[in-house]
Amino acid sequence: VTVAVPLNDFIKARETHSIFHQNAKGLHKQFDITMDEAKGIVRACPECSH
C-alpha cells in the first residue's frame, strides 16, 4: 500500500520556481506563501539570484 503525501504550498512553489523561475511576488500570490518565503526561494535559485 502506498500513501501519497500532499505537498505543502512552499514545496510546490519551490518546485514550480525551479521550472518557470517566477519572481517572488508571483510565487507569493500563486501559492499563498509569505513574501519572505517567496524571496528565499528566488534567492536560493542559482539562475535567479545574480
Task: Please state, rounded to an integer, the average pLDDT across all residues of the chain.
Answer: 93
**For the chain, which residues make up each domain, given as ranges?**
9-44
**Residue 1 pLDDT greater than 80, yes or no:** no
Burial of 41 (0-12, 13-18, 19+ CB in 10 A): buried
C-alpha cell at 26: 508571483
The CATH topology of domain 9-44 is: Arc Repressor Mutant, subunit A (1.10.10)
Q: How many Cβ atoms sit within 10 Å of the Cβ of residue 17? A: 23
- Percent of the chain with pLDDT strictly greater than 70: 98
Region 18-42 average pLDDT: 97
Question: What confidence tens digit (pLDDT) does each residue in 15-24 have?
Answer: 999 999 999 9
Please give the Cα distance from 24 to 2 (Å, whole number): 34
Secondary structure letter of residue 3 according to DSSP: -
